[in-house]
Chain A
Amino acid sequence: MKPSDQKPNQGDSRRDFLKKSSVITAIALTPGIAVKAAENNADERFAELFEKIPLNLTVNNKAYKASVEPRVTLLDYLREELHLTGTKKGCDHGQCGACTVHVDGQRVNSCLSLAVMNEGKKITTIEGLADGDTLHPMQAAFIKHDGFQCGYCTSGQIMSAVACIREGHTSSRAEISEYMSGNICRCGAYPNIVDAIVDVKEGGANV
């Protein structure tokens, strides 16, 4: 890269500033809670206090207002803040699909989405599928067809399966397998999962 291609360096970065600024200065400018953080210290603690940003989103038809650090993933926000632990953390790198939720109706890996990227969005998790005590048809089909063993991947599989039908990717078992490939099941319940999806699709239930 030519020097002229470089972005101009406009002084120290914010992280450099935090590293260099003295704790004393920080204490003088911040309320009691920050002073307490300073005692445990680490610049990172200050960074947290300064950087939480507001977040408004709807989860399973309920509106939430929150304040989160930018680095919090949607998955961690759902599990750790809202205690919606039905959504599972598997690989935490978008490879297994256990964390699959619907964002504005589309299935996504919640582990690779920052919570703050979901401002104003409507999230549906596995907890939002059933109608009261009545299971969603896909949940019932997974039980009927024994679509799991240990169950850890199941909430992700079900969220993906519902999306698969809504997207119209269920014309054959091969197409279902292709469009379910982002959900790994280490117990190997794949044939039964496909059975469950075929059953729901052929049953014509509104998913």
Chain B
Amino acid sequence: MINFQYLRTTSAKSAIALLLKDKNAKFLAGGTNLIDLMKRGVTAPEKLIDINHVPLKQIEQIGNKIHIGALTTNTAVADHALIKEKLPLLSWALQAGASAQLRNVATVGGNMMQRTRCGYFYDTEMPCNKRQPGTGCGAMEGFNRMHAIFGTSEKCIAVHPSDMCVALTALDAEVVLANSKGERKIAFKDFHRLAGDTPQLDNNLKADEMIIRLEIPVNNIAKNYHYLKVRDRASYAFALVSVAAAFELNNNKITDIRLAMGGVAHKPWRLTASENFLKGKEATLSNFEKAAELAMTGAKGFGENNFKLKLAPNTIIEALNLAKSKA
């Protein structure tokens, strides 16, 4: 690992001030993605600002929203009584991600900031428009079994690997960001970006900003929910396809619904058309099948990942079935 300067700070204000001082500084939270990338030479910041001691670790309900500090660990969120009771979908998604060791240090903000990536991004001998804009995409005609089928660009077909972010997209979460002048709030679904012509950018966080907290509305979909993650082994692997499904049922009629997919795009993929179709309809297999079909509009395979064109709708149907069967 190329050496770097290390600074520690205890407030968001000073963290942002330190970030402004150096064009090649990065925040260090859990470090589980950043240190890995630095070891492989994919990134080489000159300065790391350790923000682990900044007090952004609250989990609390304020009004009808649950606030989660950006530096809360994945384990702390997944195990918290309030989250298990009111946002069980989030707890499930978190526990489907990474390993117990990683979840113990990985933070909510860090989970959002982990790179959208693939094997070509990691291999510095290979071309990659994300790592080095303009060098080409190795995956497009290479090994692309794990890659995107939605919202792809000619520049990049990597997927965002987070499970947490799929649940947060479904749950209509908002993100509070701060710079030296103040705070702004954006919808979680607008935090991450599609690759487009700028695959080097994974999200819309500005260079002078810090993630402060999440705000998630309390909902009425905490009973019929499921996070279904399909992967190559039973645990500790990235999703081939994952689906976050949650709905409110009244006499078998769906009155509210959230659906999002992971492992299929450069960002968590909300299934709005499928939601709109199912709203007000009976929770039947044939309706689930129609919703899954609608979700696949515009999907495109790249060879090795063509199986996702079939796996994705099947996973949607199965997640909806499992959510429905939850007592």
Interface residues, chain A, with chain B CB atoms under 8 Å away:
1, 5-10, 13-15, 44, 47-48, 51, 53, 69-71, 73, 92-94, 97, 100, 106-109, 112-114, 116-117, 119, 160, 163-164, 167, 169, 177-179, 181-183
Q: Name the one of B2, B100, B207 contacting A164, with C-beta atoms under 8 angstroms.
A: B100
Q: Which residues of B contact A47 (CB under 8 A)?
A: 3
The yes or no answer to B213 lying at the interface (CB within 8 A) is no
Q: Which residues of A contact B21 (CB under 8 A)?
A: 10
- How distant is A48 from chain B, measured CB to nearest CB, in Å? 7
Q: How far is B235's CA from A179's CA once the two chains are assembled, in angstroms?
A: 9
| A-B contacts, 22 listed (Cβ < 8 Å) | A10-B21, A10-B22, A14-B22, A44-B3, A51-B3, A51-B5, A53-B6, A70-B5, A71-B2, A71-B3, A93-B39, A94-B36, A100-B101, A109-B32, A116-B6, A116-B8, A169-B100, A181-B99, A181-B100, A181-B236, A182-B101, A182-B102
Q: Which residues of B contact A117 (CB under 8 A)?
A: 28, 31, 50, 52
Q: With CB as the reference atom, state the residue of chain B lying closest to A8.
A: B20
The yes or no answer to B276 lying at the interface (CB within 8 A) is no
Q: With CB as the reference atom, state the residue of chain A lying closest to B1.
A: A71
- How distant is B15 from chain A, measured CB to nearest CB, in Å? 14
Q: Is the CB of A108 within 8 A of B104?
A: yes
Q: Is the CB of A48 within 8 A of B3?
A: yes
Q: Is the CB of B6 within 8 A of A15?
A: no
The yes or no answer to B201 lying at the interface (CB within 8 A) is yes
Main secondary structure of the interface of A (DSSP, over half): mixed
Q: Is the CB of A7 within 8 A of B31?
A: no
Q: How far is B45's CA from A114's CA once the two chains are assembled, in angstroms?
A: 15
Name the residue in B3, B40, B46, B234 with the highest tally of chain A Cβ atoms < 10 Å from its Cβ.
B3
The yes or no answer to B277 lying at the interface (CB within 8 A) is no
- How distant is A42 from chain B, measured CB to nearest CB, in Å? 11
Q: With CB as the reference atom, state the residue of chain A lying closest to B104.
A: A106
Q: How far is B8's CA from A15's CA once the two chains are assembled, in angstroms?
A: 19
- How distant is A30 from chain B, measured CB to nearest CB, in Å? 17
Q: Is the CB of A114 within 8 A of B236?
A: no
Q: Is the CB of A112 within 8 A of B3?
A: no
Question: Considering the complex of A and B, which 9 residue pairs feature the smallest CB-CB distances, nearest first?
Answer: A182-B99, A70-B6, A181-B235, A181-B236, A71-B1, A7-B207, A106-B104, A182-B101, A109-B101
Q: Which residues of A contact B98 (CB under 8 A)?
A: 182
- How distant is A49 from chain B, measured CB to nearest CB, in Å? 11
> Total contacts A to B, CB within 8 angstroms?
120
Q: Name the one of B46, B206, B234, B235 contacting A14, with C-beta atoms under 8 angstroms.
A: B46
The yes or no answer to B47 lying at the interface (CB within 8 A) is yes
Q: Which residues of A contact B31 (CB under 8 A)?
A: 112-114, 117
Known: A177-B234, A181-B236. A73 touches B35 (CB 8 A): yes
Name the residue in A69, A71, A92 with the highest tally of chain B Cβ atoms < 10 Å from its Cβ.
A71
The yes or no answer to B208 lying at the interface (CB within 8 A) is yes
Q: How far is B98's CA from A182's CA once the two chains are assembled, in angstroms?
A: 8
Q: Is the CB of A163 within 8 A of B100?
A: yes
Q: With CB as the reference atom, state the residue of chain B lying closest to A99.
A: B101
Q: Name the one of A5, A15, A73, A109 contacting B206, with C-beta atoms under 8 angstroms.
A: A5
Q: Which residues of B contact A44 (CB under 8 A)?
A: 3
Q: Is the CB of B101 within 8 A of A97?
A: yes
- How distant is A29 from chain B, measured CB to nearest CB, in Å? 18
Q: How far is B2's CA from A102's CA once the two chains are assembled, in angstroms?
A: 27
Q: Which residues of B contact A114 (CB under 8 A)?
A: 6, 28, 31, 35, 48
The yes or no answer to B317 lying at the interface (CB within 8 A) is no
Q: How far is B26's CA from A13's CA once the two chains are assembled, in angstroms?
A: 14
Q: Which residues of A contact B307 (CB under 8 A)?
A: none
Q: With CB as the reference atom, state the residue of chain A lying closest to B47.
A: A14
Q: Is the CB of A69 within 8 A of B3?
A: yes
Q: Name the one of A5, A116, A177 contacting B207, with C-beta atoms under 8 angstroms.
A: A5
Within 8 A of A (CB), among B18-57: 19-24, 28, 31-32, 35-36, 38-40, 46-48, 50, 52
Q: Which residues of A contact B235 (CB under 8 A)?
A: 177-178, 181
Q: With CB as the reference atom, state the residue of chain A lying closest to B38.
A: A71
Q: Is the CB of B4 within 8 A of A112?
A: no
- How distant is B162 from chain A, measured CB to nearest CB, in Å? 15
Q: How far is B107's CA from A42's CA once the two chains are assembled, in angstroms?
A: 36
- How distant is A15 from chain B, measured CB to nearest CB, in Å? 5
Given contacts A51-B6, A108-B104, A112-B35, 4 further A-B contacts (CB under 8 A): A1-B206, A14-B5, A117-B28, A182-B98
The yes or no answer to B105 lying at the interface (CB within 8 A) is yes
Q: Is the CB of A107 within 8 A of B101?
A: yes
Q: How far is B1's CA from A78's CA once the two chains are assembled, in angstroms?
A: 17
Q: With CB as the reference atom, state the residue of chain A lying closest to B21.
A: A10
Q: Which residues of B contact A5 (CB under 8 A)?
A: 206-208
- How distant is A181 from chain B, measured CB to nearest CB, in Å? 4
